[in-house]
A and B are shown apart, each in its own frame.
Chain A
Amino acid sequence: MIKALIARLKQGFRTGTFPTKSGPNLPLDFRGRPVLDAEMTGEDIEKAQSVCPVKDALGFDLEGAKLDLGRCTFCGRCAEVCPKIRFTKEYRLGVFNRADLIVRAGEKSYEPPRQTNPEALALKHTFQLREVSAGGCAACELDANVLGTLAWDMGRFGIRFVASPRHADAIYLTGPISANMQLALDKTYAAAPEPKFLIAAGACAISGGLYQHGRLPATPALFIPGCPPHPATTLEALLRFTGRL
């Protein structure tokens, strides 16, 4: 007991100050929200596409060049071959509509969306999540688990992962939804009481990512892009979803 107390004193208070008092402590080479130069041509997009690990993450249409954050793995290879793409340190990537994940060329400024849905705002002080891992690589699960450690301690905001969908306000989905997980996902989603939300975390859950996408049981109310999303991205998105940020 005394040994534990001494060790506790030595290790000190370790819960981070993000997001209440400071920004996140992101790595030096962190790749956040990309920006596309207004001058980007179809040729530039083709060049970037040639090194992209995902299908259809980059595209070109009547409105010009675009990048789909819902598919992007943030590997940064496109920026290496095409200097008109630049990855910024913007980690606030969570959005409430699929269309908002499309980054357009020549975007002037970016401000993440604010929550207006009263049913989501009602969860400001208590937000219970049930996680369903459906065919992913488990990196998204690992970095979701991290939020429960004392370094992030999302419990201080009333957010936690619960054991049963019966107790959940939202289903936190990771993975591309493999054929063998479709039924289990549908049943788990159905078992959560109304009103409920679906959160798609990671490129796989949003679009299938590198893999074939299964069937989403509902339209997600929150999209958290990344492969996997950084814990700071996830925590910020969850807090903004319920109107705490």
Chain B
Amino acid sequence: MTEVRNFDTSDSAMSFLMSLGGYVNPPAVTPLKGEAAHEVAVGPVHAGVIEPGHFRFQCMGEDVYNLQIFLGYQHRGVEEEIVKADGNLPRQLALAETCAGDTSIAAATAFSEIIEAITPLSVSATSLRLRSLLLELERIANHVGDLGALAGDVAFLPTASFCGRIRGEYLNMTALVCGNRFGRNAIVPGGTRCELPEEKRAKLLAWLRTVKKDLDAALKMMFESPTVCDRLDGTGIVPKAIAEEIGLVGVARRASVELNGDVLSRAIIRRLEIEEAHEKLFKLLEVRSVNDGSSPITHTSSFATVVATTQAWRGPLVHAAVFDAEKKMVGYKIVDPSAHNWQGLAYALRGEQISNFPICNKSFNLSYCGTDL
């Protein structure tokens, strides 16, 4: 979905870009005082194979009184590089895709939509369908991986093991479509670089049906287990009012608004989104003909600020670019859904024990690199 806005001066366009927001580190560690007060510092290098960030747990006795999250370790200047690479589409696209590796497909879609909005490039209905298909595969792969990891964190190993393998199946399905497990280089301005010929379509559909059965069994077991549900229920609550005040987006917002905002709610929403994504996938795959002759969708505009929003798996991913009168890119801004949600994670930990951090963290699973850029 793209939106085009016109500004008179580049300053007003740039300030609009900045107003789209992002994560801001706490100014400094505010010391916590008192007899039972103590701090636990974690990171930037974590114990697992994950990205760097620094967490400061400020505790009163056993309970976390406040969690401060310091990010920026991954900052490598993606936005600046995209502007510098103007005129070199493959490079700009590769940069967009590496904002956050697990959201490559959504990022390539958003970037492509921006380029399509200012150039006379048209996108065929077939390409749009293929993009949706890849996006849904990305969504499922990530949700499955996270639900599995959540099961692992509460020592429910059957689902942890099954989901670890099943997530790989979805990545391999993505690779079947485009050759890369993360959907890299699949989406380009004007369409896609891959196609879905009949034999691939049939293979994908059959594969999806088999894997879906395994996945259903794995998730059913987890959600029907009283020990798992008891552990997740009521842990890491972000109430609806707080979620709205902080401005949470995506899965975390749905969990707080539609359910009661705890780890279990976020897990249920992910399972729900897995279901919805499968329905969409089956619908997309049941269309047999590849070239259905529907009219291509064209966007054009001469000079503007273009804002593209894609429903990435964590929530809305926003890319925005400012172009001058010669259609030269002069500014680029990315707002990953994570940027809005880190504050939610910090809130969820309040009053919890540190030992609840892994499951709270996993239920959000936010992107460090997507925030740091």
Contact = CB atoms under 8 A, between A and B. Distances in A.
B73 A178 contact: yes
Interface in B139-192: 158, 161-162, 164-165, 167-168, 171-172, 175-176, 178-182, 184-185
B173 to A, nearest CB: 9
Contact of B178 (A29, A211, A227, A230): A29
Contacts of B171: 146
Given A139-B184, A143-B181, A210-B95, 14 more contacts: A4-B158, A11-B218, A27-B172, A29-B175, A29-B179, A54-B94, A73-B185, A75-B94, A135-B75, A138-B367, A138-B368, A141-B51, A178-B372, A212-B77
Interface stretch (A100-108, A112-120, A180-188): A180-188
Given A188-B45, A228-B101, A139 B162 contact: no
A216 B117 CA distance: 41
Interface residues of B, number: 57
B162 A7 contact: yes
A29 B172 CA distance: 11
Interface in A25-56: 25, 27-31, 51-54
Contacts of B45: 132-133, 184, 188
Contacts of B185: 73, 75-77
A151 B94 contact: no
A240 B281 CA distance: 40
A138 B218 contact: no
A228 B178 contact: no
A contacts with B: majority SS = loop
Interface string B197-220: 000100000000000001001100
A75 B168 contact: no
Sorted from nearest, which 3 A-B pairs have the closest CB atoms? A139-B101, A29-B179, A149-B164
A10 interface: yes
Interface in A3-34: 3-4, 7-8, 10-11, 14, 25, 27-31
A145 B181 CA distance: 14
A133 B178 contact: no
B102 A184 contact: no
B1 interface: no
B143 to A, nearest CB: 14
A148 B148 CA distance: 13
Task: Indicate the size class of the contact surface on chain A.
Answer: 35 or more
Contacts of A51: 90
12 contacts: A7-B158, A11-B217, A14-B165, A29-B175, A29-B178, A53-B88, A137-B369, A139-B98, A142-B182, A146-B168, A149-B168, A212-B77
A30 B217 contact: no
B99 interface: yes
Interface of A: 3-4, 7-8, 10-11, 14, 25, 27-31, 51-54, 73, 75-77, 131-146, 148-151, 161, 163-164, 175-176, 178-181, 184, 188, 209-212, 227-228, 230
Nearest to B47: A163
B77 A211 contact: yes
Contacts of B94: 53-54, 73, 75, 210
B50 interface: yes
Contacts of A149: 161, 164-165, 167-168
A4 B104 CA distance: 35
Contacts of B167: 149
A100 to B, nearest CB: 24
B100 A137 contact: yes
A141 B179 contact: no
B76 A176 contact: yes
Contacts of A143: 181
B194 interface: yes
Given A150-B164, A210-B95, A136 B44 contact: no
B90 A52 contact: yes
B217 A7 contact: yes
B325 interface: no
Interface in B45-101: 45, 47-52, 72-77, 81, 88, 90-91, 93-95, 97-101
Interface in B271-312: none
B18 interface: no
A167 B154 CA distance: 25
Contact of A137 (B47, B101, B162): B101
A144 B165 CA distance: 14
A216 to B, nearest CB: 16
Contacts of A53: 88, 90-91, 93-95
Contacts of B99: 137
B176 A28 contact: yes
A180 B161 CA distance: 35
A8 B101 contact: no
B161 A150 contact: yes
A3 B221 contact: yes
Given A7-B217, A75-B90, A184 B73 contact: yes
Nearest to A177: B76
A27 B51 contact: no
Nearest to A188: B45
